[in-house]
């Protein structure tokens, strides 16, 4: 209640990207996360999940895009998250698209972003993760890394970028996610087509022929049934560990703001659940699905789990509901 009535209105009076960077600095450079841990973190033995060889203390994770550069690795488990997904990380540093590039939709409980993979590059992120591992501070919760291609890399050469990232992060991340679904890098969603998937996933599987390192793929919510059939075929062909469903949507029907970019939050809830349900049916439940898109409370979480998701991720729900959201969702699921 305090967050909704006092903190959120104050934060929402400021530019969205400024608030995001302020929040990241506060969580990573001050003891705030540690001070909040007694309130935000709980153990829920009944919610423990085992997926692709990893143990998740609870099924609620932080979605990719929030911690692009791996700065908050030590903070997210203190806020109750059962796992985290860093990135999207690209081989070379890049600034992303021009600002402003994040827009709030308070009436619809959503966000529009056109960030375009701004990040410090795989080497700097890797060195940051190496330092955490060397000093024995790696969290007990799984750490995933979402990987992508640089904006100026031609689609035909995208496999090179994904392979470079995979190779650099392989011994650091607990799992990796191939992001071919962001709407904010020109042409990126074309990589969801079968011929491009072969050119990306084939070399990645050659890097790890026995599948020791869990590799997943993140897909868009704007796909039709035929697209999903092709995605599932590629997942099975290359023995991927799972599917992340879904990224943001380009469908802006009915929104009060018509900015370019991908929409997340409540406008995405139903569509992402439909995609999860279809994937669960097409895979026969054999492939773990991480459900993401418009999860704000336990009812939203339960809906996606019932549709076939094994794990869940938050981004916009975390922005709107605040630092106690994971605890509230987990308690609701219990």
Query: Which residues are catalytic, by number?
Result: 182
- Is 24 within 8 Å of 65 (Cβ atoms)? no
Helix/strand/coil for 28: helix
Pairing of strands 110-113, 102-105: antiparallel
- Is 54 within 8 Å of 142 (Cβ atoms)? yes
C-alpha gyration radius of the chain = 18
Helices vs. strands in the chain: H and E counts, helices first: 13, 13
Nearest to 128 by CA among 138, 141, 118: 138
Nearest to 175 by CA among 253, 240, 230, 225: 240
| Cα–Cα distance for residue pair 207/202, rounded to 1 Å | 9
| Cα–Cα distance for residue pair 274/222, rounded to 1 Å | 11
- Is 168 within 8 Å of 213 (Cβ atoms)? no
Compute CA 241 distance to the chain's CA centroid, rounded to the nearest angstrom.
16
Q: What angle do CA 76, 77, 79 make, to 5 degrees?
A: 65
Q: Which ranges of the chain would DSSP assign to H, the alpha helix?
A: 2, 8-11, 16-29, 32-40, 73-76, 122-134, 158-169, 194-207, 225-237, 269-283, 298-307, 316-321, 325-333
| Cα–Cα distance for residue pair 216/234, rounded to 1 Å | 11
Nearest to 12 by CA among 115, 105, 99: 105
Helix/strand/coil for 103: strand
């Amino acid at each position: 209640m305090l967050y909704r009535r006092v903190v959120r209105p104050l934060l929402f009076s400021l530019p969205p990207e400024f608030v995001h960077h302020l929040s990241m600095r506060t969580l990573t450079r001050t003891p705030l996360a540690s001070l909040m841990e007694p309130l935000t973190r709980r153990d829920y033995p009944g919610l423990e999940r085992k997926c692709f060889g990893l143990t998740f203390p609870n099924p609620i994770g932080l979605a990719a895009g929030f911690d692009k550069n791996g700065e908050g690795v030590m903070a997210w488990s203190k806020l109750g998250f059962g796992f985290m997904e860093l990135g999207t990380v690209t081989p070379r540093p890049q600034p992303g698209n021009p600002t402003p590039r994040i827009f709030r939709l308070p009436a619809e409980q959503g966000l529009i972003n056109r960030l375009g993979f701004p990040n410090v590059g795989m080497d700097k992120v890797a060195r940051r993760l190496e330092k955490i591992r060397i000093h024995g501070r790696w969290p007990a919760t799984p750490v995933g890394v979402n990987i992508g291609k640089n904006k100026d890399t031609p689609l035909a050469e995208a496999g090179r970028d994904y392979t470079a990232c995979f190779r650099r992060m392989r011994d650091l991340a607990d799992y990796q996610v191939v992001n071919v679904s962001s709407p904010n890098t020109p042409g990126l969603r074309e990589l969801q087509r079968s011929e491009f998937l072969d050119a990306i996933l084939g070399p990645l599987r050659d890097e790890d022929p026995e599948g020791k390192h869990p590799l997943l793929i993140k897909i868009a919510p704007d796909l039709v049934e035929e697209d999903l059939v092709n995605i599932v075929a590629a997942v099975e062909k290359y023995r991927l560990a799972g599917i992340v469903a879904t990224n943001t949507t380009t469908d802006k029907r009915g929104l009060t703001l018509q900015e370019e970019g991908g929409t997340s939050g409540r406008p995405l809830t139903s569509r992402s659940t439909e995609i999860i349900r279809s994937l669960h049916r097409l895979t026969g439940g054999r492939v773990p699905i991480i459900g993401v898109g418009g999860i704000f409370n336990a009812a939203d979480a339960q809906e996606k789990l019932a549709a076939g998701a094994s794990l869940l991720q938050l981004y916009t729900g975390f922005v709107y509901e605040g630092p106690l959201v994971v605890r509230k969702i987990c308690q609701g699921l219990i």
